[in-house]
Amino acid sequence: MKKITLILTLVAGLFIFLSSCQKVEKDPVMDLNLSTPASFTSPESGTVLVLLLADSANPFVMNWNAATYSVSNDAAVPETNYTLQVGLADSNFVGAKELSNTKVLTYETIVYSLNNFLLSLGIPGDSTATIELRIISAISGAAQTSDTSAVITMTVTTFSPPVPPPPDETPHLWVPGDYQGWNPGAAPNVWSPANDGVYKGYVYYPEGGTFEFKFTAAPDWDHTNFGFGSEGTLSTDPGAGNLSVAEFGNYFLTCDTVNLTWTNEIRNFTLIGSFNEWAGDAELTWDNTNRMFTITMDFAAGAEVKWRANADWAVNFGDSGAGDNTLSQDGANIVLTDAGNYTLNLYLEKEVPTYEVIKN
């Protein structure tokens, strides 16, 4: 028994001795004091750059050296992110704009795009200004590793781009949603007659759905889509949630793609006129197949009618006078010359609302 105990004691001691001789691995440590920021290699500071419309398609390239980091154990450094910022001279980069955000050591664009960027910075067309550039480098996901390059300056001369021709049709967005099977190609539109990024229009949401929808920049899901950002704001993130209205009904939507905001206002239309001495409102029926409001009733000869929203005159539609059955705010009364039974149809989901008068 003593012999067995002695053997076990020797084995245990040998194990402890061998364990104490093993190398203890430690996590790699980065010494931020030994890191170096990125540095421009081209263009050189003081470069004079004259941009010309004739050179619009020519390339413009910037290059820089990588930022370096000192890490123990020769550990691999995660990818470094480089943000290229441009500001006006002597602005201390207040109001600066981001020209590029990349993980490579170069930035390439064309002269026309660079000129447009400089105009967005506040430099007028056909003028000369001095700009400052810097690169902010940081290891992805580690903000504390951020470092800034030496600033370089450039003197740039811009050009005034030609005025683009007006679009062939009024710019518009599509409004697909649960109410129509989430099919952008078959969805109603909202319109921007001023081509200023603000789109407006009517959409009717029938009973029985979720009243959820999005705005899309094309009749598909492959381009920019505008979903829920926060209350009253939009997000272009492909994973953004759906927008929604509170209940069924006819809504006037506004989508501001510049400021990424949106609003909705319920506007339920009714018919008013001489048939009820302009003192009441006849309810309309929604035809979901034809996306229109309709009403059929008897009228006396010479009856006059208009449509208005929410039983109020703040929003009311009469004939525009253009002779094409278009409607306008505060337009003329619509006159039904002969007595009889009529069907009146109201089409709101258009760039310009229209109406139809059918004598039955």
List per-residue pLDDT tens for the chain, 360 residues long: 433 333 333 334 434 444 444 544 555 566 667 788 999 999 999 999 999 998 988 999 999 999 888 766 666 777 888 999 999 999 999 999 999 888 899 999 889 889 999 999 999 999 999 999 999 998 866 667 788 999 999 999 999 987 766 667 899 999 999 999 999 999 999 999 998 999 999 999 999 999 999 999 999 999 999 999 999 999 999 889 999 999 999 999 999 999 999 999 999 999 999 999 998 899 999 999 999 999 999 999 999 999 999 999 999 999 999 999 999 999 999 999 999 999 999 999 999 999 999 999
Where does the chain hold its CATH 2.60.40.10 domain(s)? 30-157
Q: Dihedral sign, CA of 246, 196, 177, 231?
A: negative
User: What pTM, to 2 d.p., does this model score?
Assistant: 0.57
C-alpha span between 302 and 137 (Å, rounded)? 77
C-alpha span between 203 and 272 (Å, rounded)? 22
- CATH architecture type of domain 30-157: Sandwich (2.60)
Q: Could you tell me which residues come within 8 angstroms of residue 9 by beta carbon, excluding any fewer than 6 positions away?
A: none
CB < 8 Å & 24+ apart, contacts of 137-141 = 137/37, 137/38, 137/67, 137/80, 137/81, 137/82, 137/83, 138/80, 138/81, 138/83, 139/69, 139/77, 139/78, 139/79, 139/80, 139/81, 140/78, 140/79, 140/80, 140/81, 140/103, 141/78
The answer regarding whether domain 269-359 maps to CATH 2.60.40.3620 reads yes
- Residue 118's closest CA among 157, 61, 60? 157
Where does the chain hold its CATH 2.60.40.3620 domain(s)? 172-266, 269-359
Token output for 86: 């441009």
Torsion of CA 125, 128, 134, 135, to 10 degrees: 40
Helices H, strands E: what count in the chain?
A: 2, 31
Between CA 344 and CA 173, with CA 354 as vertex, the angle to 5 degrees is: 135
Task: Give the phi and the psi of residue 238 in degrees, each rounded to 5.
Answer: -55, -25
Burial per residue of 139-163, b for 16 or more beta-carbon CB atoms within 10 angstroms, e otherwise = beeeeebebbbebbebebbbbeeee
Fold for the domain defined by 172-266 = Immunoglobulin-like (2.60.40)
* pLDDT in the model for residue 166: 63
Token output for 268: 């339920």
Coil, helix or strand for 279? coil
